[in-house]
Amino acid sequence: MECEYPSVNSNKREIQEIFNSVKTIAVLGLSPDEDKPSHRVAKYLQEQGFKIVPVYPKEDEILGEKVYRSLLEIPFGVDMVDIFRKPKALDMVADACIERGDVKVFWAQKEIVNNKAATKAKNAGMRVVQNMCSMVEHKEL
């Protein structure tokens, strides 16, 4: 497995601005399994008042929210995409975010780095966070 250091990333001030402005978060790879990090993080963010939109290949409902099969299926605005997928999947995620045109934040969770996808998202006007847990960063604020 090839490890990558995030060459594109937001700083702490930008992360605070992200959480102050974001309302709707699509969680890609949100597992229905309560023991999985994606579930714990999404539940925490939901409890903090964020609208969570599960994106997962199975299930009809997770955390009381309708599940969508892809980012492009979501019929309303998405401020942030919180990604729990393998790094190689981020290229397609960045493309989907760009195609949507409304995503302001491209957030790849802890141990997930893809600088090519991050650069593509940043060049399209998104804020980018890589290799950081949104729950941990929010709690630190």
CATH number at residue 60: 3.40.50.720
Q: Answer whether residue 32 is part of any domain.
A: yes
- Collapsing DSSP to helix, strand or coil, 12 comes out as helix
Q: Which of 113, 125, 111, 106 is nearest to 15 (CA)?
A: 106
Q: Answer whether residue 28 is part of any domain.
A: yes
Tally the domains of the chain.
1
- Angle (nearest 5°) at CA 37 between 31 and 40: 85
- Angle (nearest 5°) at CA 132 between 36 and 105: 100
Q: Answer whether residue 109 is part of any domain.
A: yes
* Percentage above 90 pLDDT, the chain: 91
Radius of gyration for the alpha carbons in the chain, expressed in angstroms and rounded: 14
Q: Answer whether residue 5 is part of any domain.
A: no
Q: For the whole model, what pTM was predicted?
A: 0.94
Confidence (pLDDT) at 2 = 53
The tokens describing 103, both together, are 């995503």
Residue 4 has pLDDT above 80, yes or no: no
Q: Answer whether residue 7 is part of any domain.
A: no
Residue located via tokens 């975010």: 97
Residues 35-62: tens digit of each pLDDT: 999 999 999 999 999 999 999 999 999 9
Which CA distances in Å does 79 have to 3, 5, 35, 82, 104?
Answer: 28, 25, 26, 10, 5
- Angle (nearest 5°) at CA 26 between 64 and 36: 65
Q: Which of 106, 139, 116 is nearest to 6 (CA)?
A: 116
109 CA to centre of own chain: 7
Q: Answer whether residue 1 is part of any domain.
A: no
Average pLDDT over residues 93-108: 98
- The answer to whether residues 88 and 117 touch, using CB atoms and an 8 Å cutoff, is no
Q: Answer whether residue 112 is part of any domain.
A: yes
Confidence (pLDDT) at 99 = 98
* Percentage above 70 pLDDT, the chain: 98
Q: Answer whether residue 125 is part of any domain.
A: yes
What's the number of CA atoms in the CB half-sphere (13 Å) around residue 56?
22
Structural domain harbouring 118: 12-140
Confidence (pLDDT) at 10 = 79
